[in-house]
Copies of this chain bind each other. A is one copy, B any other.
């Protein structure tokens, strides 16, 4: 039975899992769980992931969620995944775990918190929260600095000095790509100072093309819709307009 990947491509960890499968020739069926329509809350999906979040996978009778755990499982379970994605060597593997753990409490909280509180909250019935967004942006900017000064230190072009990407590169870069949803000014303010991060995003994109851009297509479309929205909506209408845009066909 083919691997099933439950995903919605607006979600950054979903894109990481999809790109990983495609780049590594893992045959899978993608099952779309539309977060903006609340499909993750259905009783059927609760059977797959009781926490009602994507991504999740079903491999035969085995169910798994949490994207880092999924990436590691796939790297270990499917033949033909090159060693650089998740090295067999215990020390190199440990360093990748270290990056992934760090990601949870730093980059992820910063980037996802900023996008949620400055943009997506209304879709989930929450108010926009400029104060929380500002706090998230601070953590995000600090995280981007640390990626440059610590994780990207080394000879190679990828994290931990790697010459080829690991699951950590994929996971973190997909997280940062979420910032595409911001308006140009905010995007430039945040990413502009981080040239090394920008180059690393390009290198990861190149190492995983054409799947990287293909998996991000829905995000790019959402970005275009937001740009249009910003140009037409008056401030007072903004929250309801955001919801309308996101519920329209992506």
Interface residues of A (CB under 8 A from B): 50-51, 62, 64-70, 72-73, 76-77, 90-91, 93-95, 97-98, 100-102, 104-105, 108, 146, 149-150
Q: In the complex, how many angstroms separate the beta carbon of A46 from the nearest chain B beta carbon? A: 11
Cα distance A97–B68 when bound, in Å? 8
Contacts of A67 in B (CB 8 A): 101
| A66–B97 CB distance below 8 A | yes
Contacting A73 at CB < 8 Å: which of B70, B90, B108?
A: B90
Contacts of A73 in B (CB 8 A): 90-91, 94, 97
| B64–A101 CB distance below 8 A | no
| B150–A101 CB distance below 8 A | no
Contacts of A150 in B (CB 8 A): 50-51
With both beta carbons as reference points, the residue of chain B lying nearest to A60 in the complex is identified as B91
With both beta carbons as reference points, the residue of chain B lying nearest to A76 in the complex is identified as B90
With both beta carbons as reference points, the residue of chain B lying nearest to A104 in the complex is identified as B104
| A95–B50 CB distance below 8 A | no
